[in-house]
Amino acid sequence: MSKEPKIDHEYHAGKDKLTITIHRYSLKSKKTRDAIMEKLTANLESKPDRLIAGAKNKSKNGPGKKLRGQQKASKLIEVGD
């Protein structure tokens, strides 16, 4: 009695890593596997989500934000003569 194919996936946001595991399924040929991988990578690279996320991260480090380990430059006012 054979078991049905199973697909598992895990996403780690901190590492920005997606893992897809296919159990109990074999492809007919290596060309089929290559075609699937090309289609997946083309789909991932064409999505603008990564570009939007990168723009949001850059905007967080704008001029008003305090960076860790760096002191804010202060203006010194001269008093007296």
In which band, very low, low, confident or very high, does the pLDDT at 3 lie, cut at 50, 70 and 90?
A: confident
Q: What pTM did the predictor assign?
A: 0.43
Q: Fill in the DSSP letter of residue 36.
A: H
CB crowding 23-50: b at 16 or more within 10 Å, else e: eeeeeeeeeeeeeeeeeeeeeeeeeeee
Judge whether 72 lies within some domain.
Answer: no
pLDDT at 73 over 70: no
pLDDT digits (tens, 9 = 90+) for 8-32: 999 888 888 889 898 888 888 889 9
Judge whether 77 lies within some domain.
Answer: no
Judge whether 71 lies within some domain.
Answer: no
Judge whether 23 lies within some domain.
Answer: yes
- pLDDT above 90: percentage of residues in the chain: 10
Name the residue range of residue 28's domain.
6-49
CA atoms within 13 A on the CB side of 61: 7
Residue of 19, 28, 22, 30 lying closest to 3 (CA atoms): 22
Judge whether 37 lies within some domain.
Answer: yes
In which band, very low, low, confident or very high, does the pLDDT at 42 lie, cut at 50, 70 and 90?
A: confident
